[in-house]
Chain A
Amino acid sequence: MGELRVRPIRARHRSAAAAMRLRGRTLIVLLLAATLTVACEPTGERRLVSIREGELQPGYLTGELLYAETRGVRQSALFIHDLWEATRERLPLPRGYATSPNWSPDGQRIAFAFGTEDGRSHIWVVDRDGENLTRITDGEVVDDYPRWSPDGDSLVFASIRDGDYDWRLFVVPVDRGREPRVVGSTDGHSVFPDWSNDGRFIVYSNRDGDAYELRVLDLVADVDRALTEGGEGGQHLYAQFSSDGREILFATDRDDDVWQIWTLDLATNTQERVIGSDSMDEYPTYSPDDEFIAFSTGHLAVYRTDGGAFPDGQLRWAVTQNLAWAPDWRAAE
């Protein structure tokens, strides 16, 4: 009797449980579908996404990438990466803090900043093969971010010196024939300069308030003007001219506090996000043909300027594995 009463109940429970499982699966499928729908929604490049990244493939990119890499606390070294061969070599420099390397226009020399234990740093120049190491600046100063003039005769760099505790831009001849002279804004801090290929403009970041803004200095007309007005919010650093001088590549954290790579069209003053990843992308630099952008995201990575994928389907390639920054790209000889 008892069994007769129990069995139908169990059977009913089984069918009810099966129905519940079915509903559960349906619910899960619906949730997954909804999630995928939201994830795949074409929201444009403003949406932050985790970029798919692969290893640098040899035989695709050309030229040499020069960059600084961490070798320990207060220790860094400069490396030259042959992108075609996917091999690299270390510049034979003394131990210390070497940073901000920059190819000379002819690709035969390298300017960089070298820091010492006492907290000073100076601008140095060395040959591509590590020979002829020459100090360009001296004194109890902090010099950094050197960039060659297009004719290879001068360097523009940022410095804290002359009893002034703000960053200023200076231009100095490489042959040390004259003392460094101030250029650009003298209000607030001025850092990260870059010279246009026609030698007429210097773009740099200046902070005279809460944020670093981009400014451009016309050396011919002696006009210094702001490119970003602060209305966008956030910091604007690491500006670099495109090869034709029409665009400026820079990094900003104006959106969501994430450092991302943007471009600024000098003719129209329109700004556009190039890389909208959710990682911290800094120190962007164009390839010589402006087809690619190398940048630091902890390590160094390369991205197609048009946002397209690399041959293996990845959206970007990792050039290094270690903590590296300040890349500079020169064309193959």
Chain B
Amino acid sequence: MIQDFLQLPVVILVRVLLGMVLAFVVLPNIVLPRPPSARTSLDATVVRSVRWTGIILAVSHVLLVVRLFHVLPILLLCAYGWLRKQDRLPSRKRVATDGVVTTDAVLAGDVSEFDEMPERSHSAVQRAWLQFTDMFSVFERVGFRMFVDWIVGVWRRLLGLVRSVFTRQSALLAVLVAPIVGILSASLVERGRLAFRFETLSPPEAYVYLTWAKSFANNSAFPDGIYPQGLPGFIAFLGKLTPGIDLYEITRYTGALIGMLLVFGIFYAVLRLTANVGAALFAAGAFGIFGTVQQWHSPWIRQTGPLPQELGFAIALLALPSAILAITERDRDHLRTTMLAALGIGIIHPVPLAMFIVFAFAGALVTAVIDRGGFDYAFFVLVYGLIGGLIAHVYVPIGLLVGLDIFQGMDHPFTVRSYAGGRTEALVGLMATERLGHNLLTYVAMGSVALALLVALVMRARSRTRHIGAQLAGLAGFGIVALALYDVRPLQIPLNLLGPMGNLVGIAVALALGAGFAAVTAAAFAVRNPLQRAASVIVLAAVAVAGFGRTFDTGPLQRAPSEYEAMAAVTRDVMRNQDAFTFTIVGTPQQRQAVAGVGTFIELWVFARDVTVRDAQDPGFVVPDVSSLMFARDLGQTLPIPTADVYIFVEKDPFPVPEQAPVGPTEEYYYNREKRGRIMATVYAWAEYYRHYHTDMTVHFEDDDVVVYRIRRRPNTVASAAAPQFKDYTWEPGVLFTGGPAEPSEVVIPWES
């Protein structure tokens, strides 16, 4: 009962979300010191998370190189213990009482407090942690009296905590926070809809990142050659902190969570730079709730799948304010954030890294121009970004030194090829219709940028809004860069980067809308009462978001499956219901990547090559089921594990794959419709004969497209290891599957006709 509940899609999503919060919000708040540049608890949390991401990805890669990634959680515990011993954790004496006021003020856009209020608080997370750790301090003390005092003290603190929840300020904070929580929830639901409905990972590259994440978790570095492993490391780290959830599920929902993180990044960047919660809500709301609007130029599928560029953009959005604030606040601590952000983004993907450095420098430069100073800091933003980016790419020379090749999987635009394959037919079609062109939304964005620059100049002239004006200009500066990349022909992004570029344009347009909204509502700063000011801009933002929704039509939820849903669903069902390594799956590359590290696997083309109808007719024939080579490539292991259950997946109607040049066995056998059909026909005939002459095979699942056979018997370790079948994965181009029935429907089963 509880197990069933824990495996519900929405529960898994929440568990992965909590794991992400634990991994990238709670842990950095516990381990990392409070950044001096942080003005609010929100700032401190975001900056810590950004820095933590860079640090943790770098540490993960170091551990990966020495094959010790699995000790990362232990290392974190040791780091915590050491920091505690060194008394470097956030002070335990400064118990917070007014942190709520600070956050409240910032959300309400109180500029005076925003600029001048010194930090005197801890976040709610820190408070909870301190109370939790206080419980253990009793073990350091001696005497019953002190134990009683401790119990009483804890009780009083708990009472105080409960009372504090019902204060006016807490209620106010809840009202202010509710809209963004609502927007984030809506954006998560929107981006998670495909993951809820379908077991198939989408886009197809997700299977590649899943494989790499499994390799990462098993200390196998760069299984397909040198390529940024930041996203696989991110997923593998999440896997460490979400016990009981398979990496498949984490990968499945990580895309939606990254999409939500993008929305939060837009919210935070606009809020931090404009101090206008309405602008932040409008930008995040429009992009988050109406993400399928075609005019964003932001391919919807990229926001729903686990893709490294999008993760890089999300971190970049959280870090970009630091580049601007370094100018207005002349604080080198922001530069450290910039560098660590560049480090993390660089490990994830070079495209968002380049975008981050360009945007950060351009934004800083525009800010410096408007602020009439801080050009040296703008220069340092560039230098620190480049340093972080260079450090991030240390893995390249290290990989070359140990004899690895650069990943060669990008042999075709829009496709990423693992040795196990993952193709993107729908993406290719989608991109063809997604040529960047101007539309009403981009014109509004351009107008917003111009207006923001104009208002920035006006705000710059008044001392009370001087910094905000400069920051607003910096925000507009991002839009200028995006439009330059968009329109100026020599700067235009090469075709094969259009995918991430499309998303970048969408994000830049959203930021521009936020800047425009902040410019339009700049007069709100005249309202002295912060509550009235916040309320007015929130109402305006709600109207603007609603107007956005009415103006632009949302498009369909695009999806790019690379296999039948039933194939993925049955695979996942087998994985859930059987213990690890008690089953073998005979299937396509998608099944292979799903079961890697969980079960054993035989490629369908190898199975089709090595079985004969004569075998199937022999009652004494037992299917050997060891595929040691493929297994070894997954996990660096060579132990053959024969299993009691063998599931054979056959597409009765071969999946309509995109045709690919035969650059490898995956392409020749699976992305060639004729050969895919012949392989399915061969295995279908064999299975039907086997079922006729044997008693240990049943039809495990069948629908119009797919049939899954199950063989259940005692595993024969010796015979499986010694049998010649399924051991040779040598690719012989053009030799196999050149004749025979084109697909299962052409197979004649004599006793059924």
Q: Measuring CB to CB, which residues of chain A are less than 8 angstroms from any residue of chain B?
A: 70, 72-75, 97, 115, 119, 121, 142, 144, 160, 165, 167, 189, 191-192, 205, 207, 210-212, 235, 237-238, 253, 256-259, 279-280, 282-283, 297-299, 322-323, 325
Contact = CB atoms under 8 A, between A and B. Distances in A.
A308 B449 CA distance: 93
Given A298-B718, A323-B723, A121 B614 contact: yes
Contacts of A323: 719, 722-724
A212 B724 contact: no
A207 B716 contact: no
Contacts of A189: 619, 693
A257 B714 contact: yes
Given A72-B724, A142-B614, A205-B619, A235 B695 contact: yes
B719 A280 contact: yes
Interface in B719-734: 719, 722-725, 728
Most buried by A among B618, B718, B723: B618
B435 interface: no
B718 A256 contact: no
B619 A298 contact: no
Contacts of B610: 73
9 contacts: A75-B724, A142-B617, A165-B751, A189-B619, A189-B693, A237-B619, A253-B714, A258-B714, A298-B719
A70 B614 contact: no
Interface in B183-218: none
B612 interface: yes
A238 B620 contact: yes
Contacts of A144: 618
A73 B713 contact: no
A12 to B, nearest CB: 16
Interface in B139-191: none
Nearest to A72: B724
Given A144-B618, A256-B714, A282-B620, 20 more contacts: A73-B610, A73-B724, A75-B724, A97-B614, A165-B692, A207-B619, A207-B695, A210-B695, A211-B695, A212-B619, A237-B619, A237-B620, A253-B714, A257-B644, A258-B714, A280-B716, A298-B716, A322-B722, A323-B723, A325-B620
B751 A280 contact: no
B620 A74 contact: no
Nearest to B750: A165
Contacts of B612: 74, 119
A235 B619 CA distance: 10
Contacts of A205: 619
Contacts of A160: 617
Interface of B: 609-610, 612-614, 617-620, 622, 644, 692-693, 695, 713-714, 716, 718-719, 722-725, 728, 750-751
Contacts of A283: 620
Contacts of A210: 695
A70 B724 contact: yes
A70 B613 CA distance: 17
Given A160-B617, A165-B692, A237-B620, A297 B724 contact: no
Nearest to B696: A235
B592 to A, nearest CB: 21
Contacts of A279: 716, 718
B31 to A, nearest CB: 33
A170 to B, nearest CB: 16
Contacts of B713: 253, 257
Most buried by A among B609, B613, B692, B714: B714
A283 B718 CA distance: 15
A323 B716 CA distance: 12
A115 B716 contact: no
Nearest to B727: A73
Contacts of A297: 718
Contacts of A325: 620
Nearest to A163: B750
Contacts of B751: 165
Most buried by A among B612, B619, B714, B728: B619
A207 B693 CA distance: 9
Nearest to B725: A73
B611 to A, nearest CB: 9
Nearest to B692: A165
A298 B642 CA distance: 13
Contacts of B722: 70, 298-299, 322-323
Contacts of B622: 280
Nearest to A76: B724
Contacts of B644: 257
A115 B724 CA distance: 17
Contacts of B728: 73
A261 B1 CA distance: 43
A14 B716 CA distance: 51
Nearest to B617: A142
Nearest to B620: A237
B614 A119 contact: yes
Contacts of A322: 722
A297 B644 CA distance: 17
B313 to A, nearest CB: 50
A119 B718 contact: no
Contacts of B693: 167, 189
A72 B725 CA distance: 8
Contact of A280 (B617, B618, B714): B714
Contacts of A75: 724
Contacts of A167: 617, 619, 693
Contacts of A115: 614
B697 to A, nearest CB: 12
A75 B615 CA distance: 12
A323 to B, nearest CB: 4
A212 B718 contact: no
Contacts of A258: 714
B524 to A, nearest CB: 66
Contacts of A192: 619-620
Contacts of B692: 165
Contact of A212 (B618, B695, B714, B716): B695
Contacts of A235: 619, 695
A80 B320 CA distance: 79
B179 to A, nearest CB: 59
A74 B718 CA distance: 19
B68 to A, nearest CB: 30
Nearest to B723: A323
Contacts of B719: 280, 298, 323
Contacts of A237: 619-620
Contacts of B718: 279-280, 297-299
A231 to B, nearest CB: 16
A70 B719 CA distance: 11
Contacts of B614: 97, 115, 119, 121, 142
A91 to B, nearest CB: 20
A189 B719 CA distance: 25
Nearest to B618: A144
A299 to B, nearest CB: 7
A212 B750 CA distance: 22
B572 to A, nearest CB: 26
Contacts of A72: 724
Nearest to A97: B614
The list of the 8 closest CB pairs from A to B, nearest first, reads: A298-B718, A257-B714, A323-B722, A298-B719, A280-B716, A165-B751, A73-B724, A119-B613
A192 B693 CA distance: 13
Contacts of B609: 73
Nearest to B749: A165
A304 B303 CA distance: 69
Contacts of B724: 70, 72-73, 75, 323
A139 B556 CA distance: 60
A97 B750 CA distance: 24
Nearest to A145: B620
A165 B750 CA distance: 7
Contacts of B750: 165
Nearest to A75: B724
A144 B615 CA distance: 12
